[in-house]
Homo-oligomer: A and B are copies of this chain.
Amino acid sequence: MLSLGIDPGTATVGYGLVRELSDGALQAVAYDVITTPAHTPLWERLETIYTSLAAVIRQFQPDRAGVEILFFGKNVTTGINVAHARGVILLALHQAGLPITEYKPAEIKQSLTGYGNADKKQMQEMTRLMLNLDKIPRPDDAADALAVAITDIHSARFNAIGGWQ
């Protein structure tokens, strides 16, 4: 099972592909960021995100996708722009036929560390350990996306065994 995790943004979209191996171990297949140039119209940035993400999906052929849910900080304008980007991200994933699950930041933290308020450093270190990497993945948005993909695989496993029964 190969999951594509997404950390949405307008300037930077993080993505990470995690495979569950037959022994249950997790492997980072690829991770990177899609960046869009500043000072260009929003629709050009949206098209870059959409076409770049579609290319990632074509290349790696994931089985499912996880996308982080937005929460508003103090900057509503930034949140609105990220929601525009998230719209084209969800469109690209759905058009590729991927089952999509959305995860709140606290769910991602809970899934990786057992603690919904884990800090960024703890999360990055757990991501590194769970994927058996030598170093913390960079850039940060790609590491965040890998954490989403790990959460998505945990969620798929949990549902496969029947959930809370």
* 8 Å CB contact of A83 from B83, B93, B100: B83
Segment from A16-24, A39-47, A142-150 that makes contact with B: A39-47
**B residues less than 8 Å from A95 (CB atoms):** 47
**B residues less than 8 Å from A37 (CB atoms):** none
Q: How often does this chain occur in the complex, in copies?
A: 2
Within 8 A of B (CB), among A11-49: 41-44, 46-47
**B residues less than 8 Å from A88 (CB atoms):** 87-88, 91
A51: min CB distance to chain B, Å: 9
Interface size on A, residues (CB 8 A): 25
Q: Is the CB of B90 within 8 A of A46?
A: yes
A49: min CB distance to chain B, Å: 9
The residue of chain B having its C-beta at the shortest distance from the C-beta of A76 within the complex is B72
**B residues less than 8 Å from A85 (CB atoms):** 87
